[in-house]
Amino acid sequence: MKFKVLISDPLSEEGILPLKEAENVEVVVATDLSPDELAKTIKDFDALLVRSQTKVTREIIRNASKLKIIGRAGVGVDNIDLDAATEHGVIVVNAPDGNTNSAAEHTMAMLMSLARKIPQAYFALKNQKWDRKSHVGVELKGKTLGVIGLGRIGAEVAARAQGQRMNIIAYDPFLTAEKAEKMGVDYGTVEDVVKKADFITVHTPLLKETKHLINKDTFKLMKDGVQIVNCARGGIIDEDALYEAIVTKKVAGAALDVFEEEPAVNHKLLELHEVIATPHLGASTVEAQENVAIDVSKDVLNFLTTGLARNP
């Protein structure tokens, strides 16, 4: 008898080879299922592999009578109902390291594009406008970058920003004075960070505690003309408060890769000239997608065959 594995989001072909080549596994790739179709289909499967598009709801897990493990090809598991999985005895594993570098590089690309208004200038030029006056930027050198969440990606961003001669101030509940010193970063509370920073970048998971961590009260503490980057999760920054802070000129610009509701088309933030955005592309590189798919495929295969799971 073969274990049946359903892959419901597009994953790297190379990355899923460990599963495809396993003799005791049958892999089914079905990436266009509606939530209702997935809830029906899932009942035959031992494992489910997703990226971020599939919402693994309680309804889906309830119907998954044979399901043993859900593999998330990426970091955030906020698209999976973890309580429902636990109640039904379903293990959830993610791929915490494979896209760190890509997400950090994307954050730096967003930070630099924001500072130099590259997307706005590109858009103007593509529309036949040679407009240099409207696209005067600011240097990063000597500015302070506030990093909220100094985990894998936050730390990589901090190191790269130091390479741009930026000063770093960070907040992370697990940041010790010793670690901060070793990394050459200043540290403080969220309030300290947002008061001192010229640019702020968030790199926390989306949890109850981090939902709207940046809200209308936090914006009030910031310097006038601060610029904001979010390549972590929509919802860490209150989008209504961000909109208000931009139209009142408190915030000079924002670079967003993620939104509270995705896909985010016709979003009011996207109407603002000060906002630059990408459609959740932080981990969208050949390397990262291969890495996370390999990691999660190996974990799922290992669990199905040995019953042992790495810590999620």
Interface positions with ligand NAD (CB under 6 A): 75-76, 96, 99-100, 103, 148-154, 171-174, 203-206, 209-210, 231-233, 257-258, 280, 282-283
Q: How far apart are CA 155 and CA 110, in angstroms?
A: 16
Per partner kind, with CB cut-offs from 5 to 8 A, the member of ligand MLT, ligand NAD, none near residue 92 is none
Contact 232, 256 (CB under 8 A): no
Of ligand MLT, ligand NAD, none, which one sits near residue 50, judging by CB under 5 to 8 A according to partner kind?
none
Number of H helices, E strands in the chain: 12, 12
Instruction: Pick the closest to residue 207 from 22, 30, 35, 82 (CA basis).
Output: 82
Q: How far is CA 62 from CA 81, 86, 88, 228, 310, in A?
A: 11, 11, 7, 40, 24
Instruction: State yes or no: residue 75 binds ligand MLT (CB under 6 A).
Output: yes
Residue closest to ligand MLT when measured from CB atoms: 74
Q: Which of 12, 41, 52, 107 binds ligand MLT (CB under 6 A)?
A: 52
Which does residue 232 bind out of ligand MLT, ligand NAD, none, counting CB within 5 to 8 angstroms by kind? Answer: ligand NAD
Longest dimension (CA), the chain: 68
Contact flag: residue 51 with ligand MLT (CB under 6 A): yes
Q: Which is nearer to ligand NAD, 75 or 108 (CB)?
A: 75
Residue 152 known to be catalytic: no
Q: Is the separation of the CB atoms in 230 and 260 below 8 Å?
A: no
267 binds, among ligand NAD, ligand MLT, none (CB under 5 to 8 A by kind): none
Min dist CB 89 to ligand MLT, Å, is 24
Query: Are 79 and 55 within 8 A, CB to CB?
Result: yes
170 touches ligand MLT by CB under 6 A:
no
Task: Give the C-alpha separation, 255 to 229, whole Å.
Answer: 5
Q: Which does 167 bind (CB under 5 to 8 A by kind): ligand NAD, ligand MLT, none?
A: none
Choice between 103 and 300, CB closer to ligand NAD: 103
β-pairing, 47-50 with 3-7? parallel
Tokens of 61: 């897990």
Catalytic residue, chosen from 51, 106, 233, 267, is: 233
DSSP classification of residue 137: -
Q: Choose the stretch contacting ligand MLT; rule: CB under 6 A; options: 60-68, 72-80, 149-157, 169-177.
A: 72-80
Scan for tokens 């209702």, then name that residue.
36
For position 283 contacting ligand MLT by CB under 6 A, the verdict is yes
Residue 291 binds ligand MLT, judged by CB under 6 A: no
- If the CB atoms of residues 130 and 174 are measured against ligand NAD, the closer one turns out to be 174
Contact, 276 vs 110, CB < 8 A? yes
CA–chain centroid gap for 230, Å, is 8
| Bridge partners, 227 (sequence order) | 199, 253
Question: Is 212 known to be catalytic?
Answer: no
Residue 58 catalytic?
Answer: no
CB closer to ligand NAD, 52 vs 120: 52
- Asked if 236 and 112 touch (Cβ cutoff 8 Å), the reply is no
Reported as type and span, the H/E element at residue 101 is: helix 100-115
Q: Inter-axis angle of helices 152-163 and 100-115, to 10 degrees?
A: 50
* 76 touches ligand MLT (CB under 6 A): yes
Does residue 149 interact with ligand MLT by CB under 6 A? no
Nearer to ligand NAD, 42 or 254 (CB): 254
Asked if residue 235 binds ligand MLT (CB under 6 A), the reply is no
**Which sequence positions are flagged as catalytic?**
233, 262, 280
Contact residues for ligand MLT, defined by CB under 6 A: 51-52, 74-76, 99, 282-283
